[in-house]
Amino acid sequence: MPAQGGFSLIRVSAVVAGVAAACYYTPANWIEETAARYPNLLFHVAALFIAKDFIIPTLVAWCFTGPHMSTRRKTMVATWEPAGKTGEIYASFEFDMTNAKKYIEQKAKQGVHVTITTLVVKAVGNALKAVPSVNGRIVFGQYIPFDSVNVSCLVNIDNGKDLALCSIPNVDSSSLDDISAVIRRQADKLRKGKDEDFEKSKSSLSKMSVSSVQKLLPFVGFLASGLGLTIKALGVKRFLFGGACVTSVGMMGLDNVYVPFTPWARIPIFVMVGVCKDRAVVENGQVVIKPILNITCTIDHRFLDGAQGAELAKELRRSIEQPETYLEAHNAVKAEASCFSTEIAPSPMGELSHVTAETNAF
């Protein structure tokens, strides 16, 4: 395989030979007969669209012998357009993790594995509950709220070569213990290649050209994330990402990274967890050393204005900086309320959903 990539003479010859054979064995009046049999203009437009955007790009991609493109990279190339076409809000936060680190250590002694990312997932769920205008999607220009608070997070698979999505339903009413268990269970299943839906979607994308993926993703996103339809043939479940997606680059030592929007996913907010490290801060006029966590958010401006953003930030800070005081009390209230309920509202999301974006590890 050429280092810089190029076209394989053998594959190009095979395509040319195939086209020549098709032309030779096709009756001379085939085009006229087909046009007479299908006079509807819509049929011809659809046939032209399929040939131009799927068949021809796929053949060209097959003839090209460049470096292998992963499904993640292929999806990224097919997703983003030039900047300036969307209304985005970028926010950056610094959180004092003194109490949170003690809380995580306390949980570890109890045999519960809680990470900083898990804590952030729970905090984001509480924030979505407090600011319901962010927990929904826009379809045909109309805002439609979700029935429950679901948050997704991305995990590394194949030793960091690809990504997969874990979906955590009902985050606002789930304990940190439950959230940690769901993420570990789903991540383990994904990394072992035992999730049929993800493997199906991965296989479908790997066989398509970038141009084909570019045409397909917005349509699939509209059906799954907009209308809430499950597409079994592609391994795609309804409401792929929920109200927010959390990912992390903290393990890479990066302080601040802003996640670019993935338009077809229709996610109101992306949350990126940065590195947590000791820093000098001023407290009561004294310079002290404290563990500081950097978090950035990329928000769709259509869902949120300044006042709602302030409420969202307030809820995030309270949940992350005071987990023992706030999250435990929050879960206790939820548990008490559930004792008086005989029904559990179904989650609008399946247990697992998939597709790709940035990087995360647990």
Pairwise pLDDT comparison (335 vs 45), residue with the higher score: 45
User: How is the beta sheet containing 286-300 ordered, strand by strand?
Assistant: 88-96, 286-300, 269-283, 244-248, 151-157, 162-168
Bridge partners for 162 per DSSP: 157
Pairwise pLDDT comparison (140 vs 49), residue with the higher score: 140
- Which of 124, 119, 121 lies closest to 103, judged by CA? 119
pLDDT tens column, 82-110:
444 567 888 899 999 999 999 999 888 88
How far is the C-alpha of 250 from the C-alpha of 257, rounded, in Å?
Answer: 10
Q: How many CB atoms lie within 10 A of CB 49?
A: 11
Q: Please, which pLDDT band fits residue 177 given cuts at 50, 70 and 90?
A: confident
| Average confidence (pLDDT) over 134-161 | 84
Q: Please, which pLDDT band fits residue 201 given cuts at 50, 70 and 90?
A: confident
Given a cut of 80, whether residue 1 has pLDDT beyond it is no
Given a cut of 80, whether residue 37 has pLDDT beyond it is no
Range ranked top by mean pLDDT from 42-56, 120-134, 228-242: 120-134
- Rounded to two decimals, the pTM is 0.69
| Average confidence (pLDDT) over 20-26 | 63
Given a cut of 70, whether residue 22 has pLDDT beyond it is no
Could you write out the DSSP letters of every residue in 10-24?
Answer: HHHHHHHHHHHHHHH
Token pair in block for residue 1 = 């395989």
Pairwise pLDDT comparison (37 vs 272), residue with the higher score: 272
Question: What's the confidence (pLDDT) of residue 49?
Answer: 57
The beta strand positions in 192-351, using DSSP E, are 244-248, 269-283, 286-300
Q: Name the average pLDDT for the chain.
A: 75
pLDDT tens column, 238-252:
888 899 999 888 777
Percent of the chain with pLDDT over 90: 19
How far is the C-alpha of 231 from the C-alpha of 219, rounded, in Å?
Answer: 11
Q: Please, which pLDDT band fits residue 75 given cuts at 50, 70 and 90?
A: low
Buried b / exposed e along 305-332 (16+ C-beta atoms within 10 A): eeebbebbeebbbbbbbbbeebbeebbe
pLDDT tens column, 287-326:
999 999 999 999 888 888 788 889 999 999 999 999 887 7
Given a cut of 60, whether residue 343 has pLDDT beyond it is no
Find the helix packing angle between 116-130 and 306-321, rounded to 10°.
140
Question: What's the confidence (pLDDT) of residue 317?
Answer: 93
Question: What's the confidence (pLDDT) of residue 100?
Answer: 92
| Average confidence (pLDDT) over 219-233 | 84
Question: What's the confidence (pLDDT) of residue 38?
Answer: 61
